[in-house]
Amino acid sequence: MLKQRILTGLVLAPMMMGGIFYLPMTPFMIFIGVITALGAWEWANLSGIQHKLGRVAYAAAVSSILYLLYYFNLEFQPELLYLAFVWWLLAFVLVQTHPRFKAIWSGTLTRLLMGLVILVPMWVGFVQIKSYPNSGYLILFVLLIVWGADVGAYFAGRTFGKHKLAPKVSPGKSWEGVYGGMLTTTLVAFGGGLLLQDSLGVALTLQQWSLLFLATFMVTSVSVVGDLVESMLKRQRGIKDSSNLLPGHGGVMDRIDSMTAALPVFALALSMLGWNLNL
């Protein structure tokens, strides 16, 4: 399993980095669109659709929405990011109170609609960040936050975990893991700030440092919720992984669950806080 996980990672990581840094905007939209469509195919299964044709139809529907956003030049509308932010606030309530409101979202149609507000804004977030100066480093930064939160939470949880974060959703996760993830992403933010200062040749102001850490805190917090929401649906569906598309890693949704929350929120933070690398 570990060997498979490493080999798959060695294939996926260069593909992701190549897409982020070297693809122009339109091919990049398609690249992230393919990832989103694969996530939609798996989300249909999480929603209770077991027939392959139904899962393909849902992936096609999500892909069609992405194309319509592109066709009508709506992918840069900030309203989609605000919608995502409101959804993740609601998702936090659903996770923390689970299973009290399970009857509201457990229906197949409701879960399919949830997939739309989870997957489509992720694509929009990627695209909007891609439009920023030095977009590759911005996207890499948010991915490092997501990965740092995951790694920090894993080791801190295994070492110090005593207080369960959401025992009825994901019994293995703890508040100590969250704190470990926060510490890790704070270090990521600090390192990113130092590299930014070096590249610019000027020191960041206190306000700029504050905005950087605030954005990092927001993204780290919401990435945890993204992970928990998928865990909640997998528990409802009675499965461990969203699929077996990625040997050693499970499915695409198992890899992007935190990103579905982090990318739109980070894009919104960039817009609201006025933070970008073109200083």
Under 8 Å between Cβ of 157 and 173? yes
Q: Whose CA is closest to 259, among 132, 111, 95, 149?
A: 149
pLDDT of residue 250: 81
pLDDT of residue 21: 94
In SS3 terms, 200-250 reads as HCCCCCHHHHHHHHHHHHHHHHHHHHHHHHHHHHHHHHCCCCCCCCECCCE
* Residue 35 pLDDT > 50: yes
* Residue 204 pLDDT > 70: yes
Cα-based distances in Å from 230 to 28, 60, 129: 25, 21, 24
- 246 forms beta bridges with 250
In angstroms, how far is CA 142 from the centroid of its own chain? 9
- Average pLDDT of the chain is 91
- Tokens linked to 31: 């690249």
Under 8 Å between Cβ of 242 and 253? yes
pLDDT higher at 10 or 192: 192
* 279 falls within a domain: no
* 278 falls within a domain: no
pLDDT of residue 279: 40
* Residue 265 pLDDT > 80: yes
* 258 falls within a domain: yes
Expressed as residue numbers, the domain containing 72 is 2-273
Confidence of residue 5 (pLDDT cuts 50, 70, 90): low
Most confident of 71-75, 119-123, 169-173: 119-123
Rounded to whole angstroms, the Cα distance separating 260 from 163 reads 26
pLDDT of residue 3: 63
**Model confidence pLDDT, tens digit, residues 47-56:** 999 899 999 9
Q: Whose CA is closest to 257, among 221, 229, 220, 216?
A: 229
* 106 falls within a domain: yes
**Model confidence pLDDT, tens digit, residues 231-260:** 999 998 998 888 888 776 789 999 999 999
Q: Tell me which amino acid residue 262 is.
A: A
pTM, entire model: 0.94
Give the total number of structural domains in the chain: 1
* 211 falls within a domain: yes
pLDDT of residue 11: 80
* 185 falls within a domain: yes
**Model confidence pLDDT, tens digit, residues 159-172:** 999 999 999 999 88
Rounded to whole angstroms, the Cα distance separating 201 from 12 reads 34
* 155 falls within a domain: yes
pLDDT of residue 278: 44
- Tokens linked to 174: 């703890």
* 230 falls within a domain: yes
